A and B are shown apart, each in its own frame.
Chain A
Amino acid sequence: MSERPTYTLKGDTGDWEIVLGLEVHAQVSSNAKLFSGASTKFGAEPNQNVSLVDAAMPGMLPVINEFCVEQAVRTGLGLNAQINKVSRFDRKNYFYPDLPQGYQISQFEHPIVGEGVIEVDVEPSHGDPAYAFPVRIERLHLEQDAGKSIHDMDPGATYVDLNRSGVALMEIVSKPDIRTPLEAAAYVKKLKSIVVALGTCDGDMEKGNLRADVNVSVCKPGAYEKFRENDDFGELGTRCEIKNMNSFRFIQAAIEFEARRQIEILENGGSVDQETRLYDPDKGETRSMRSKEDAHDYRYFPDPDLLPLEIDDAFIEGIRVNLPELPDQKRARFESEYGLSRYDAGVLTSDAESATFYETVAKGRDPKLAANWVTQELFGYLNKAELDLSETPVTAVQLGGLIDLISDEVISGKIAKDVFQRMIDGEGDPADIVEKHGLKQVTDTGAIEAIIDEVIAANPEQAAAVKEKPKSMGWFVGQVMKASGGKANPQAVNKILREKLGL
């Protein structure tokens, strides 16, 4: 694994570095909301999944959904974090029509999950090799989602859909340990892979079920290292928070824009205002949403309708023993059990579906060959075709069959690629394709000898020249393979050619 590179942005006054901290909101996978029995099913008609509690009718009281607590603890364990046996719910007070209670129930001072750490893998990019780095988790807390205000249905009115109102969210806050746009995306990917593996969030970013707020600041080289020594945020630049991004691409683009914006301000002698900003993907820029001055005074205080949330060791251990294999554990196992590189193992374990697919392909076969076919050929094709693994035209069983044909020397690796293309085109099982198109490798040495004899006889000058320049034997191999329609076993061709040419 490579060293973590230093990421710098060139400015007129010298180099700058970025410091990033993320707050990720992950919707808890649960059939019911955090404090009411209402359904969380996506796609219901507006205001259908709304209980009396969600609509904040007079006299209605919140009752904690124990399953959501379990999910938060499960996630905390997946983040290698401290589970707080006593936590508390607070009210965050502000007025908005999609917030029926006039406050959001959240955990302000005493979150259910404390500090943790995860290892984040960064893909190779722009010639930089893959590397991994740790991100410290500051906390995870449970809170209610708000409803949805719809402003564009009627020029004179705003419509409110309370279906999301009261849905459980986990807010996962990182320490400012992230230093590049690519790392930020990689961090969110890693969180996503963990919560999906745990079954605590479906990770569906398009539906907004996983979204990120990014705190961006810039500083001069050396400042961050000082901050890490003394934990004094004064060493770092003033940060801006970019709200609510739900795509890896937007996260990276927004950070790049925002860092440049801040550098420009600073280099022109200005100062960065601490504020909340929104990323506009159409314009590719961030714009101010509200400044620190008009920030709400949320008047946090402990919610008197709820007792402190107390959980015991038995509850935590009951969850711990039933944790599924986490992406990091799976990757380690793929490295040791299958002998894969850390990078390949990481790619194959980034989500459960890939891992299961790979393990089906690799079962009883050469694991490295299987890894190459899955990551290079299949994933390469899916990426290019912009398909999800769930939409693959080639099943794991079929791909396994193809690898069997290679290992059994029925076809060569080269022919296998043709077969694979035909599998993509929907021609079916590899064995049938090989049969149908007569692609079986010729291993009969007699037949190969006959072809070689013909080729040598047709090219006497080259046959003489090759004795002087043995490296040009490759030309003969090519001719023989061509004459065999690519079906001749390459090893046999090489061997017999050497004999015949007297090399």
Chain B
Amino acid sequence: MSELTKLSLTGALDGLDKGDFSAVELTQAFVDTIEASNDALNAYVVKTPEQALAMAAESDTRRAAGKAGRLDGAPLGVKDLYCTKGVRTTACSNILGEFTPTYESTVTQNLWDQGAVMLGKLNMDEFAMGSSNETSRFGPPSNPWRRGSSNATLTSGGSSGGSATAVASDLCLAATASDTGGSIRQPAAFTGTVGIKPTYGRASRYGMVAFASSLDQAGPIAKTVSDAALLTEIMCSHDEKDSTSLNVETPDWLGEVGNGVKGMKIGVPKEYRIDGMPQEIEDLWQTGISWLKEMGAEIVDVSLPHTKYALPAYYIVAPAEASSNLARYDGMRYGARVDGDGLTGTYEGTRADGFGDEVQRRLMIGTYVLSSGYYDAYYLRAQKVRTRILQDFEQVFTEVDALLTPTCPSAAFAYGEKTDDPVQMYLNDIFTVTANLAGLPGISVPAGVDNDGLPLGLQVIGKALDEATCFRVAGALEDAAGFVAKPDKWW
């Protein structure tokens, strides 16, 4: 039955609806595949096969009674950032020990309310801090894609590396992920999958382990634009438990996919053409531009002049918020604790032992930029830059409906290639952080492969709350690209 795992989310839901197979059969196929593949791929850090099969059985009963929800019987993976009731949740950090929530995040609850089945918790960078998933306490997942010329294991990106690996290697129909500076879109681009970060506030942050509150946003990684649209619809909701949640209706995005781009104005921002960017990325971008033109869109050259300040501003704001958000991990109430000399010794032991190097680096940066005497020079200035970046976008969106950019400046890289230089690693986020700083929706679509046969993604950035246009453009690019390449199974 392993063919079942190759289905798209919408395809599998169709099959369930038609009675081609049951939710239990479908789930069993995934449970078996995970069992066979996860040791090699390290996508799941917690597997919940019994719970999955029990949920699937209930789903079959519901479907038989004509009470199926919109995701009924669909086996999904959940990024370890989402608190899941009764299932260990650690954000892949040692400091959370064996923490098992007594509560469910709003986003995952929305999935279960529509009948989805949970296969387990997916690998990620510790507290979502990273672009290669190498900071996970459980070690990184492997990208199912390899360079044609080499057997080196590549990163599937980060921080949602586990989600991307699982979707790309058919270990789930689709997965939840989260994006603070590109953590959905970059892994999607590295694995030939689709990932969208909705408008800030579309999805509730309740029950998501916080990294940077003003930037964190939930979204899916999926196999197709339609799958992503459907899952985003379910994940998003207004939630009174999150004060930054937007009180807006969630539109029918699935219905937008396929509506085409005829008559749309698509902006191409010149600042996204950076020094040292591989020719393949530039070529892919030009190809994307031609496709959209051919399909009747008008291409407009635009400028987002403050783009170059986005990455520095991001690496001030995100660590600043993180330094405060992660203060609660003090060994006093839950998670790991290392007893030391007195209170200070216990704090120091617990946090030195519990947090990995990258997290500690960002906590120190964040503490520094908020400290008295430096606040104005760093945090306040970064927030001003943020306002400028938003104004840049608002300005161009008076002229165009959406923007087209590459998702990342490179294809997937091998483990260790960038680990030694944090700044090289941070540069991965250069095209994605702007959407987080401005709170805008951004989607990555696989659009081609590089010379090594590795997938590359194009990004569509939309106006606030205009995910609909993102899905339309992404759907058009998906059609044009006809991206059907699959990694050769080596695992």
Residues of A within 8 A of B (CB): 52, 55-64, 91, 93, 95, 97, 100-103, 158, 160, 297-301, 304-307
| 5 A-B residue pairings within 8 Å (CB atoms) | A57-B333, A59-B206, A60-B207, A297-B371, A306-B243
Residues of B within 8 A of A103 (CB): 324, 327
List the one stretch of B41-49, B95-103, B266-274, B410-418 in contact with chain A: B95-103
Which of B82, B214, B240, B375 is within 8 Å of A304, CB to CB?
B214
Tell me whether A64 and B330 are in contact (CB under 8 A).
no
B 317-348 to A, binary, CB cutoff 8 A, 1 in contact else 0: 00011011011101011100000000100010
Residues B244 and A97 in contact, CB atoms below 8 Å apart: no
B89 and A93: CB pair below 8 A? Answer: no
Q: Is B105 an interface residue (CB 8 A)?
A: yes
Please name all residues of chain A whose beta carbon is closer than 8 Å to the beta carbon of B240 when the two chains form the complex: 63
In angstroms, Cα B210 to Cα A61, docked, is 9
Asked whether, in the complex, the Cβ of A299 is within 8 Å of the Cβ of B243, the reply is no
* Contact (A102, B324) CB under 8 Å given A58-B83, A59-B207, A160-B332: yes
Evaluate contact between A299 and B206: CB separation under 8 angstroms. Answer: no
* Complex Cα spacing A306 to B208, Å: 16
Cβ-defined contact, A97 with B210, below 8 A: no
Render B207-247 as a binary contact track against A, CB cut-off 8 A, 1 for contact. Answer: 11110111000000000000000000000000011111000
A56 surroundings in chain B (CB, below 8 A): 328, 333
Set B89, B324, B372, B375: member contacting A58, Cβ < 8 A: B89
Question: With the chains together, A177 CA to B197 CA distance in Å?
Answer: 54
Residues from chain B with a CB closer than 8 A to the CB of A102 are 324, 326-328, 330
What are the residues of chain B within 8 A of A100 when measuring CB–CB? 328, 332-333
Asked whether B379 is an interface residue with its Cβ less than 8 Å from the other chain, the reply is: yes
Q: Residue on B with the closest CB to A59? A: B207
CA distance A55 to B102 in the complex (A): 13
Q: Are B96 and A97 in contact (CB under 8 A)?
A: no
Given A58-B328, A301-B379, answer yes or no on A63-B241 (Cβ-Cβ < 8 Å).
yes
Most buried by B among A95, A103, A304: A304
CB neighbours of A64 from chain B (8 A): 243
**A-B contacts besides A59-B83, A64-B243, 12 pairs, CB < 8 Å:** A52-B102, A57-B333, A58-B83, A58-B89, A59-B205, A62-B243, A95-B347, A97-B332, A297-B371, A298-B372, A304-B212, A304-B213
Residues of A within 8 A of B367 (CB): 299
Contacts of B55 in A (CB 8 A): none
Contact of A301 among B105, B241, B320 (CB under 8 A): B320
Are A95 and B327 in contact, with the CB atoms below 8 A?
Answer: yes
Identify which of A58, A95, A301, A307 contacts B370 (C-beta below 8 A): A301
A97 and B213 CA atoms in complex are apart in Å by 23
B91 is an interface residue with CB less than 8 A from chain A: yes
Min Cβ gap B409→A in Å is 28
**Nearest-neighbor residue (CB-CB) of A309 within chain B:** B243
Establish whether residues A59 and B210, one from each chain, have CB atoms under 8 Å apart when the complex forms: yes
A274 to chain B, nearest CB (A): 15
Whether the pair B206, A61 counts as a contact (CB closer than 8 A) is yes
Kindly list chain B residues whose C-beta atoms are within 8 Å of the C-beta of A301.
320, 324, 370, 375, 379
Using CB atoms, name the residue of chain A closest to B317. Answer: A304
A93 & B324 in contact (Cβ 8 Å cutoff): yes
Given the interface pairs A95-B347, A297-B371, A304-B212, the reply to whether A61 lies near B243 with Cβ below 8 Å is yes
B367 → chain A closest CB, angstroms: 7
Nearest B-chain residue to A58, judged by Cβ: B209
Chain A residues near B379 (CB-CB < 8 A): 301
Beta-carbon nearest neighbor of A56 in chain B: B328
B343 A307 Cβ-Cβ under 8 A = no
B103→A307 contact, CB < 8 A: no
Contact of B96 with A58 in the complex, beta carbons under 8 Å = yes
> How far apart sit A60 and B208, CA to CA, in the bound complex (Å)?
8
Pair B243/A63 contact, Cβ less than 8 Å: yes
Provide the residues of chain A in CB contact with B96, threshold 8 Å: 58
Measured between beta carbons, the chain A residues less than 8 angstroms from B343 are 97, 158
CA distance A307 to B200 in the complex (A): 13
| The residue from B208, B244, B323, B330 contacting A59, defined by CB atoms under 8 A apart | B208
Using CB atoms, name the residue of chain A closest to B208.
A59
Q: Which residues on A sit within 8 Å (CB–CB) of B99?
A: 58
Minimal Cβ-Cβ distance residue in B for A89: B243
Task: Tell me the complex Cα distance, A305–B205, Å.
Answer: 9
Expressed in whole angstroms, the Cα–Cα distance for A301 and B334 within the complex equals 26
A299 partner, pick from B324, B326, B328, beta carbons under 8 A = B324
Which residue of chain B has the shortest Cβ distance to A306 in the bound complex? Answer: B243
Asked whether, in the complex, the Cβ of A97 is within 8 Å of the Cβ of B328, the reply is no
With CB as the reference atom, state the residue of chain B lying closest to A55: B333
Q: How far is B328's CA from A307's CA once the two chains are assembled, in angstroms?
A: 21
When C-beta atoms are compared, the residue in chain A nearest to B320 turns out to be A301
Which residue of chain A lies nearest to B82 when distances are taken between CB atoms in the complex?
A: A59
CA distance A93 to B324 in the complex (A): 7
Chain B residues whose CB sits within 8 angstroms of the CB of A305 once the complex forms: 210, 213, 243-244
Q: For residue A59, which residues in chain B have a CB less than 8 angstroms away from its CB?
A: 82-83, 101, 105, 205-210
Across the A-B interface, give the 9 residue pairs with the lowest CB-CB distance, nearest first.
A102-B327, A304-B213, A299-B370, A304-B214, A56-B328, A59-B207, A58-B209, A59-B83, A297-B372
Contacts of A158 in B (CB 8 A): 343
Cα separation A58 to B321 with both chains bound (whole Å): 15
Q: Beyond A95-B347, A102-B327, A304-B213, is A61–B375 a contact (Cβ under 8 Å)?
A: no
Residues of chain A within 8 A (CB-CB) of B208 are 59
CA distance A59 to B347 in the complex (A): 21
One of B241, B334, B347 near A57 (C-beta < 8 A): B334
Closest beta carbon of chain B to A203's beta carbon, Å: 31
B-side contacts of A61, CB under 8 Å = 205-206, 241-243
State how many angstroms separate the Cβ of B313 from the closest Cβ of chain A.
14
What CA separation (Å) do A64 and B241 show in the bound complex?
10
Complex-state Cα separation, A61 to B328, whole angstroms: 12
Which residues of chain B (344-374) have a CB below 8 Å from chain A? 347, 367, 370-372
Q: Do A57 and B101 contact each other (CB < 8 Å), given the known contacts A93-B370, A95-B347, A301-B375? A: yes
Of the listed residues A56, A58, A62, A299, the one surrounded by the most CB atoms of chain B closer than 10 A to its CB is: A58
Shortest Cβ distance from B343 into chain A, in angstroms? Answer: 7
Smallest beta-carbon distance B407→chain A, Å:
26
Per the bound structure, the CA–CA distance linking A93 and B105 in Å amounts to 26
With both beta carbons as reference points, the residue of chain B lying nearest to A101 in the complex is identified as: B328
A91:B347 contact, CB within 8 angstroms: no
A97 CA to B207 CA, complexed, in Å: 22
In the complex, are the beta carbons of B320 and A307 less than 8 A apart?
no
Q: Tell me the nearest residue of chain A to B321, going by C-beta.
A: A304
Residue of B nearest to A52 (CB): B103
Using Cβ atoms and an 8 Å threshold, which residues of chain B touch A91? 324
Q: Once the chains bind, are A101 and B244 in contact (CB under 8 Å)?
A: no
**In the assembly, what is the distance between CA of A97 and CA of B96, in Å?**
17
Q: How many angstroms between the C-alpha atoms of A55 and B89 in the bound complex?
A: 17
* Assembled-state Cα–Cα distance A297/B242 (Å): 28
Please give, as numbers and ranges, the residues of chain B lying within 8 Å of A58 by CB-CB distance.
83, 89, 91, 96, 99, 101, 209-210, 328
Flag if A95 contacts B320 (CB, 8 Å). Answer: no
When distances are taken between beta carbons in the complex, the residues of chain A under 8 Å from B323 are 93, 299
Question: Given A61-B206, A100-B332 in contact, is the A93-B327 Cβ separation under 8 Å?
Answer: yes
List of B residues within 8 angstroms of A307 by Cβ: 243-244
| C-alpha gap A144/B339 in the complex (Å) | 28
Chain A, residue nearest B366 (CB): A299
B75 to chain A, nearest CB (A): 23
- Chain B 295-331, CB within 8 Å of chain A: the 1/0 string? 0000000000000000000000000110110111010
Please report the C-alpha to C-alpha distance between residue A58 and residue B103 in the assembled complex, in whole angstroms: 10
In the complex, A58→B82 CA distance in Å? 9
For B210, the chain A residues whose CB sits under 8 A away are 58-59, 305
C-alpha spacing A160/B214, complex, angstroms: 31
Q: How far is the CB of B385 from chain A (nearest CB, A)?
A: 16
